[in-house]
Amino acid sequence: MGDLLMEENKNRHVKILVSVLCLAVAAIILYKTFANGPNKFAGLAGKKIWVLCANPNCKAAYQIDEKEYFLYIKQQTAKNPLSTTVPALVCEKCGQESVYRAVKCPKCGTVFYPGLFENDFPDRCPKCHFSQTEQDRASR
């Protein structure tokens, strides 16, 4: 009976040690991710990305500055560091927090959210089914 109790205590100590180590690694990753400040995004200034409003009554698609996008995401993530989703931006058109990063099809011009098709290229257009990634890989 005493050996069993000692074994349970040993297992409990190992579990606690592993948990503490995981938390320490997570803290280091968070520090390294957010410690560099705004200069981390300096190379993105002037570059534009596409965004799309998820509000079904709006569906506005427009371009924004990539640096501003990542600074906003960083700011919102700092408010809720345990969140597992990318925070939405406020739509220029409808004013709702419903705007997410998107891509524009170079073939037909459709703006869409990447990764719509499971087990496929993330840039596969839902309208014309073109994928720049697929074409680039095929030409290698």
Grade residue 32 by pLDDT with cuts at 50, 70 and 90.
low
pLDDT of 20 above 80: no
pLDDT tens digits, one per residue of 47-80: 899 999 999 999 999 999 998 898 898 888 888 8
Locate 1 and state its tokens.
């009976």
Span 11-20, mean pLDDT? Answer: 62
Percentage, residues of the chain above pLDDT 70: 68
Q: What is the pLDDT of residue 102?
A: 95
For residue 100, give Cα distances in angstroms to 29, 40, 58, 60, 79. Answer: 25, 21, 13, 11, 18
Q: How far apart are CA 26 and CA 45, in angstroms?
A: 29
User: What residue ranges do the domains of the chain occupy?
Assistant: 1-35
pLDDT of 7 above 90: no
Q: What is the pLDDT of residue 52?
A: 96
User: What is the maximal distance between C-alpha atoms in the chain?
Assistant: 73
